[in-house]
């Protein structure tokens, strides 16, 4: 990255252009929610003019009438949708570098809409000159936006979150999927884990690293899943109260009842024959075969109580 003097006297001029004919940015950090866009279109139809002029660039690279929109892509789209034949635009004619164009784009894009933090950061990192990064009006602190993303579906809370990526080898992936699915089906509520839980996760990984002397994160995570596998019945706390009665009526995994995902084949064969016989005799619904086991369990409990 090199220092260069910022150009002075850009000398933009006001021109009339057909909004649909202008060239759109291939990468635009700005987005606009659909309801905002429709309001903009409605306002333009009412006003019959675009009162906030877009910034466009020719520089000998784009034909007259098809210049690149540096700022105002949504305004040009809305103007076209509103049926405006021509709009006023501010045109920069002099040739500019890619860094200068991106810096102009970012510096002007505070006018309307909202920033996609990931794209904003991607564009900023493409500016290879310090002066033009400064010109863009963004600093590294402001670009730590991925930690402060506000999700539309979580508008009730301004959550600060961090993404964690774990890469698994093929033979580890199935085990991870099973364990995570069991954790989901064994619970009666869905929670968004807080950032405070991130440190305990790192602590658990560190403990697995140290105990088994492994350096790979996925392997350490696999060891944590092994511990989880050995404590499947702990998930019963999600659907049993202190007296052993069901907290809810949602399905739960068999493995949380038996503490294992498998059973010996001969036992599976015996259970299968019994379940088929009961279903054929009409003693149980063949879509609810577990009811036979429930009845046997109830009989056993009643006998034990007597």
Which one is the CATH code of 13-110: 2.20.25.160, 3.90.1530.10, 3.60.20.10, 3.30.2010.10?
3.90.1530.10
**In the prediction, which pLDDT does 137 show?**
54
**In the prediction, which pLDDT does 199 show?**
73
Residue pLDDT, tens place only, 157-213: 444 555 556 666 776 777 777 766 666 555 554 445 555 566 787 788 888 878 888
Structure tokens that stand for 63 in this block: 């034909």
**In the prediction, which pLDDT does 185 show?**
57
Q: Which residues of 111-123 are buried (b: 16+ CB within 10 A; e: fewer)?
A: eebebbbeebbeb
**In the prediction, which pLDDT does 146 show?**
39
**In the prediction, which pLDDT does 72 show?**
87
Domain ranges in the chain are 13-110, 117-148, 213-262, 267-303
Residues of the chain with pLDDT under 50: 1, 3, 111-112, 146-147, 149-159, 189-191
């Amino acid at each position: 990255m090199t220092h260069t003097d910022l150009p002075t006297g850009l000398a933009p001029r006001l021109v009339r252009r057909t909004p649909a004919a202008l060239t759109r940015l291939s990468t635009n950090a700005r987005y606009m929610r659909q309801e905002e866009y429709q309001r903009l279109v409605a306002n333009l139809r009412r006003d019959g003019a675009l009162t906030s002029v877009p910034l466009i660039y020719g520089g000998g690279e784009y034909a007259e009438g098809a210049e690149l929109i540096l700022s105002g892509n949504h305004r040009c789209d809305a103007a076209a949708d509103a049926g405006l034949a021509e709009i006023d635009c501010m045109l920069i004619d002099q040739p500019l570098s890619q860094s200068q164009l991106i810096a102009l784009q970012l510096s002007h894009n505070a006018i309307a809409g909202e920033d996609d933090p990931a794209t904003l950061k991607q564009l900023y990192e493409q500016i290879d000159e310090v002066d033009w990064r400064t010109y863009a009006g963004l600093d590294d602190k402001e670009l730590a936006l991925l930690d402060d993303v506000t999700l539309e579906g979580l508008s009730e809370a301004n959550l600060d979150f961090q993404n964690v990526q774990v890469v698994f080898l093929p033979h580890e992936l199935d085990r991870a999927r099973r364990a995570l699915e069991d954790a989901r089906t064994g619970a009666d509520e869905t929670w968004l884990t807080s950032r405070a839980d991130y440190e305990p996760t790192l602590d658990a990984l560190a403990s697995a690293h140290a105990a088994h002397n492994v350096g790979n994160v996925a392997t350490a995570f696999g060891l944590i899943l092994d511990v989880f596998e050995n404590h499947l019945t702990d998930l019963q706390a999600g659907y049993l109260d202190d007296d052993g009665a069901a907290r809810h009526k949602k399905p739960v995994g068999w493995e949380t009842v038996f503490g294992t995902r498998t059973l010996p084949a001969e036992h599976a064969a015996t259970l299968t024959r019994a379940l088929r016989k009961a279903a054929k005799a009409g003693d149980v619904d063949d879509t609810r075969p577990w009811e036979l086991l429930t009845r046997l369990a109830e009989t056993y409990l009643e006998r034990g109580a007597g």
